[in-house]
Amino acid sequence: MRNQLNEELDRLRHDILAMGSLVEESLRKALHALRTGDVALAKEVRAGDAEINALQLGIEDQAAMLIATQQPVAGDLRELVTVFKVTDNLERIGDHAAHLAKTARRLADDPYPLPLDRLERMAAAGVAMVHDAVEAYLRRDEALAREAAARDDEIDAEHKAFLREVLAYLAGRPDKAEQATKLIATSSFLERLGDHVTNLCEAVVFMLTGEHAELND
């Protein structure tokens, strides 16, 4: 049974790597669509969200089956519990990528007249955080999990600065209220993306130590 459990855990890790890679790819595509106004690429991101959701369901079904049939204890049980937290947060991050892609499509029809550098930096930081968080899970690296979570401060700072910029722009262009509202919502989604990666990193720390750490509290 030990060998079987190890094999099944390895399969779960492989599937989580695949899910994390898809989420990263979606974020990268959405960011590129935002930079270039590539509507076709933005549509790819929206379509790819279904694949991420399907992977989540498959991984969680597999983890639940292992808990029910293999009677895991200690570290194995903590990892299986962590799997649900990892997939839930990855799925939510995928949703934020889809939202970013939706914004890219809307801005292609109604371009924002100021640079969107801050949104781009938030998205790029989110991509790096997701990559490192998944790596921390796969490599069982507590230090990397904590480092990835710490980068959420960068996203929070950019979010606050972007809100100030949009509100200052809106003061002179009240006719652009609808566009400004969409941009603020997009920035808020990206800010929450950082929170979801932080949650994922906290789950990794719990898996490795049994500690319910609050990172970036």
Q: Give me the pLDDT at residue 2, please.
A: 66
The b-or-e profile of 173-207 (16+ CB within 10 A means b, else e) is: eeebeebbebbbebbebbbbbbbbbbbbbbbbbbb
Q: Could you give the domains of the chain?
A: 2-209 (1.20.58.220)
pLDDT, tens digit, 9 for 90 and up, residues 71-111 = 888 888 999 999 999 999 999 999 999 988 988 888 888 88
pLDDT, tens digit, 9 for 90 and up, residues 30-53 = 988 988 889 999 999 988 889 999
Q: Which of 59, 179, 202 is nearest to 113 (CA)?
A: 179
- Write the DSSP string, 128-162: HHHHHHHHHHHHT-HHHHHHHHHTHHHHHHHHHHH
Q: Give me the pLDDT at residue 205, please.
A: 94
Q: Give me the pLDDT at residue 75, please.
A: 85
Q: Give me the pLDDT at residue 81, please.
A: 92
Q: Give me the pLDDT at residue 146, please.
A: 95
User: In angstroms, how far is CA 127 from the centroid of its own chain?
Assistant: 7
| pLDDT beneath 50, residues of the chain | none
Task: Indicate the pTM of the whole model.
Answer: 0.91
Grouping H, G, I as helix, E, B as strand and the rest as coil, residue 69 is helix
